[in-house]
Amino acid sequence: MSKPLVAVVGRPNVGKSTFFNRVVGRRVAIVEDTPGVTRDRIYAEAEWMGIHFALIDTGGIEPASAEVIPAQMREQAQIAMDTADVILFMTDGKAGLTADDREVANMLRKTGKPVVLAVNKIDTAALPDDFYDFYELGIGEPLPLSSANMLGIGDILDALVGEFPKDADTEEDDSIKIAVIGKPNVGKSSFVNAITGENRVIVSNIAGTTRDSIDTPVEIDGVKYTLIDTAGIRRKSKVNENIEKYSVIRAVAAIERCDVCLLMIDAVEGITEQDKKIAGVAHEAGKGIVVVVNKWDLIEKDSHTMNQFQKTIDAEMTFMSYAPSIFISVEEKQRVKNVIELARAVSENRAMRVPTGQLNSLISDAVLMKQPPSDKGKRLKIYYAAQVGVKPPLFSFKINSRPLMHFSYARYLENKIREAYGFEGTSIKFVFREKG
């Protein structure tokens, strides 16, 4: 069985994302100079007292607008009920009990899933009189919480952990996580079945699981993987409208927790807008990416066909030219295993570290070969470079002036690093610091 999943549900502004960020720890800042790349996360892995679990903030899925709140809350509650093992229902102790709270409680009560009721914004030890109103919801004892002041968080986490399924896997997991992403009918399930049919499945997944994706742990040539298949649930979900939106939400949640994303494309249909959107999410999140073109058996081929298709991919997804492509047919069992080998290589590239000495001599050589840009007589100087992070690889450069570091020169340096070290399948990020 996979990691327990806790969904946080509640009205806008009750403090869900504050709680989420407190539990998950410091928000992972995506270090990049482009504004607007730091996104709120809707899915994160967390740990409490050595117990590993996953947290999904259903409120972060969509920005709220006043008129749609009741509908939106029903939707959130629905997602939570479909996907979670335990639901954290968050209310606002300052605002008191509201009609919307009652409505959500009614829905949650019917699921049979365990619900923990938190009353947030209780910032002092004394409980307000109307705190006791929350008992009326009929979903158990309300627990006081102040997410802002970090009060009561431990009690909430204890209560959540106490409701985890007994057979849940709460160990830290060191397998390579591969998310299989793509539009309905591209062959995601067929692919996962082909892999699991030929290899040892470590623990089979529970039939009828209602998680937002199905995790299959599998061992291939002595290496542990977890295949995250986002296809299975869609068919089981009662929610038929907004299929497209739901499949994007699920894709995003799966991407957030993977190491490598297999972006599966239908050879006949080619690359669609939705494929590009999902590729963009994986790229921004700094995940490993492999473009898998499936149903290659359906294409009439000559010796140019693969090159032509590759050109289309390059043209449509210029922002991830580092991602390798592979052309497969699950139906004819063509190159299916090579996909896993490629994903493994990409996952290793994502974790690769370049020694500082080597990096600095590479950069000095690069600077000698191509003069850095200058402006009004002042030339860019690079004093020092170091790789300061992995997954994705992050390089820090100490320079004399940030405005002098043109995009094109950064791109040149990236190409030099890639020429020497490859980093195939992973984005690499740069941060430039001025010498103080």
Nearer to ligand GDP (CB atom), residue 244 or residue 297? 297
Longest Cα separation, the chain: 77
CA 370 centroid distance within chain: 37
The Cα–Cα gap between 289 and 278 comes to 11
Q: Which stretch binds ligand GDP (CB under 6 A): 13-21, 397-405, 416-424, 428-436?
A: 13-21
Is residue 41 a contact point for ligand GDP (CB under 6 A)?
Answer: no
Nearer to ligand GDP (CB atom), residue 121 or residue 250? 121
The Cα–Cα gap between 285 and 377 comes to 38
| Residue with tokens 């896993």, as numbered in its chain | 340
Cβ pair 323, 425 in contact under 8 A: yes
Q: Does 314 belong to an annotated binding site?
A: no
Q: How far is CA 266 from CA 113, 258, 427, in A?
A: 37, 22, 24
Q: Which residues of 221-253 are buried (b: 16+ CB within 10 A; e: fewer)?
A: eeeebbbbbbbbbbeebeeeeeeeebbbbbbbb
Is residue 380 a contact point for ligand GDP (CB under 6 A)?
Answer: no
Is residue 186 a contact point for ligand GDP (CB under 6 A)?
Answer: yes
Tokens of 324: 């390798």
Q: What would the x/- binding string for ligand GDP be over residues 312 to 331, using CB under 6 A?
A: -----------------xxx
CB of 347 to ligand GDP, least distance (A): 22
Quick one: which of 1, 4, 9, 15 contacts ligand GDP (CB under 6 A)? Answer: 15
CB of 340 to ligand GDP, least distance (A): 16
Q: Which stretch binds ligand GDP (CB under 6 A): 10-18, 106-114, 125-133, 209-217?
A: 10-18
Tokens of 190: 């067929």
Nearer to ligand GDP (CB atom), residue 14 or residue 404? 14
Nearer to ligand GDP (CB atom), residue 186 or residue 285? 186
Tokens of 364: 């000095």
Please name which of 394, 427, 429 lies closest in space to residue 321, comparing C-alpha atoms.
427
Please name which of 35, 61, 37, 29 lies closest in space to residue 284, comparing C-alpha atoms.
37
Secondary structure (3-state) at 417: helix
Quick one: which of 17, 196, 216, 426 contacts ligand GDP (CB under 6 A)? Answer: 17
Is residue 72 a contact point for ligand GDP (CB under 6 A)?
Answer: no
Q: What would the x/- binding string for ligand GDP be over residues 405 to 434, using CB under 6 A?
A: ------------------------------
Specify burial of residue 197 (Cβ count, 10 A radius: 0-12, 13-18, 19+): exposed
Nearer to ligand GDP (CB atom), residue 159 or residue 417? 159
Contacts with ligand GDP in 87-146 (CB under 6 A)?
A: 120-121, 123, 146
Contacts with ligand GDP in 246-305 (CB under 6 A)?
A: 294-295, 297-298
Q: Does 57 belong to an annotated binding site?
A: yes
Nearer to ligand GDP (CB atom), residue 192 or residue 385? 192
Helix or strand run (H / E) with residue 305: helix 305-316
CB of 200 to ligand GDP, least distance (A): 21
The Cα–Cα gap between 138 and 125 comes to 24
Annotated binding-site ranges for GTP: 10-17, 57-61, 120-123, 182-189, 229-233, 294-297
Annotated binding site: 10-17, 57-61, 120-123, 182-189, 229-233, 294-297
**Rule CB under 6 A: which residues touch ligand GDP?**
10, 12-18, 59, 120-121, 123, 146-148, 182, 184-190, 231, 294-295, 297-298, 329-331
